[in-house]
């Protein structure tokens, strides 16, 4: 039994040292300080930073019935402008809205409150929904990202 245990321990020791690093490969060509290493820079791929969405969920749109009426911001609703109704983001916040079905996106400005249907995260103007390609369907799953800049959401600490 002792002999078997010794053999198992010896085999494990050999296996674990087989994959151990032995320091830098001194046979590799090193670049001189005045010459960039061409092979290293050519193989590196730029990384795209993935940001966390502000919100993801179903979006709807509103149009003709509300066209010309006053919004929560006090301006007149124009169904062809790139605007939206959101329940709690500050009025004036700019959002990038991405249709998750076709990957189309548009930037809208929050100028109204809504949606009035429970479960939906945003109501888009007809023009915005048309750009995103879901006016015929009526409801589509979207991703909302706050656009940085002079948006009131930035001064409210929403990032």
pLDDT for 44-98, tens place per residue? 555 555 667 899 999 999 999 999 999 999 999 999 999 999 999 999 999 999 9
For residue 150, the model assigns a pLDDT of 59
| pLDDT at residue 124 tops 50 | yes
The mean of the pLDDT values for the chain is 78
Cis, bond preceding 155 (omega within 30 deg of 0): no
Exposed, middle or buried by CB within 10 Å (0-12, 13-18, 19+), for 123? buried
- Cα 122 from Cα 1, distance rounded (Å): 70
Residues 97 and 110: their CA atoms lie apart, in Å, by 11
Average pLDDT over residues 117-125: 96
Where in the chain are the domains?
A: 55-154
CATH H superfamily, domain 55-154: RlpA-like domain (2.40.40.10)
**Residue 58 phi, psi (nearest 5):** -75, 135
Compute the distance between CA of residue 43 and CA of residue 80 in angstroms, rounded to an integer.
Answer: 46
35-39: Cβ within 8 A, 24+ apart: none
- pLDDT category of residue 2 using cuts at 50, 70 and 90: low
Alpha helices, DSSP H only, in the chain?
2-18, 38-43, 126-132, 152-155
Confidence at residue 53, expressed as pLDDT on a 0 to 100 scale: 83
Share of the chain above pLDDT 90, in %: 58
For residues 98 and 57, the answer to whether their CB atoms sit within 8 Å is no
Q: pLDDT > 70: what percent of the chain?
A: 62
């Amino acid at each position: 039994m002792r002999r078997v245990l010794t053999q198992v321990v010896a085999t494990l020791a050999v296996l674990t040292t087989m994959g151990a690093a032995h320091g830098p490969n001194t046979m590799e060509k090193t670049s001189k300080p005045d010459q960039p290493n061409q092979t290293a820079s050519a193989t590196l791929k730029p990384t795209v930073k993935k940001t966390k969405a502000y919100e993801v969920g179903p979006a709807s749109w509103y149009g003709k019935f509300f066209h010309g009426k006053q919004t929560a911001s006090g301006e007149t609703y124009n169904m062809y402008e790139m605007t939206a109704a959101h329940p709690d983001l500050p009025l004036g916040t700019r959002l990038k809205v991405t249709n998750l079905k076709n990957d189309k996106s548009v930037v809208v400005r929050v100028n109204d409150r809504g949606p009035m249907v429970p479960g939906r995260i945003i109501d888009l103007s007809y023009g915005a929904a048309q750009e995103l390609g879901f006016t015929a369907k009526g409801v589509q799953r979207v991703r909302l990202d706050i656009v940085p800049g002079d948006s009131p959401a930035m001064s409210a600490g929403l990032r």
